Amino acid sequence: MNDLRELYQETIFDHYRQPRNFGRLEGANRRAEGYNPLCGDKVTLYLQVEDGVIKDASFEGSGCAISTASASLMTENIKGKREADALHLLDKFHGLVTGTATADDLGKLAVLAGVREFPQRVKCATLAWHTMQAALANVEEPVTTE
Ligand code: ZN
C-alpha cells in the first residue's frame, strides 16, 4: 500500500510540474473559469466541441498540486469523449474523491483517490471538473466551489 501511495504521489507531482494540455486553446468554442477560494486555486478551461464530442481540451491557471494535477489528468481523459461520457466520468470521479465509489475504470485518475482522506482537498480535486461541466453548459458566471 505504501508503494502504491508513493506511485500516486509521484504521478500527482509529475502532472503538477509538467501539466499536460496547459495553455490557451486556439479554436476553442467553450470556455469557463473556476475558482476555489478555500485554497486559492484558479482554472480557465478551454474546450473544442464538435457534434457533441470533445475534440480538444486545455487549461490555464494557478493552483496547488492537487488542483493542477487533476486539471491535467482531466484534460487527458476527456479528449475524444462525447459530452455525456465526460459528464458521466465527472460523476464517477466525484464518487472516487468523496469516497462513495471505487476507482473501477478510472485508470490514472485513481491517483487522486487519496484526497478522500482530506475533505478540504476534495474541492481542489473537483474544481477543474465542475469547470468542465460549466463549459459544456455554456455557463458565463465563473464557477466557485463555495
Ligand atoms: Zn488547492
At the top level of CATH, the class of 2-144 is alpha beta
Distance 43 CA to ligand 1 centre (A): 11
52 Cα to the center of ligand 1, angstroms: 30
Compute, in angstroms, the gap from residue 46 CA to the centroid of ligand 1.
Answer: 20
Instruction: Note the pTM of the prediction, 2 decimals.
Output: 0.94
C-alpha dist (Å) from residue 36 to 5, 32, 74, 81, 96: 25, 14, 17, 26, 19
* CA 42 to ligand 1 center in whole angstroms: 9
95-143 confidence digits (pLDDT tens): 999 999 887 789 999 999 989 998 889 999 999 999 999 999 988 788 8
Say whether 27 sits in a helix, a strand or coil. Answer: coil
Asked if 43 and 67 count as a contact pair (C-beta separation under 8 A), the reply is yes
**Residue 40 CA to ligand 1 centre (angstroms):** 6
Question: Helix count (H) and strand count (E) of the chain?
Answer: 4, 4
Distance 50 CA to ligand 1 centre (A): 31
pLDDT tens digits for range 65-98:
999 999 999 999 999 999 999 999 999 999 999 9
Residue with cell 473501477: 104
The answer to whether the CB of 143 falls within 8 A of the CB of 131 is yes
Give domain limits for the chain: 2-144
C-alpha cell recorded at residue 33: 473559469
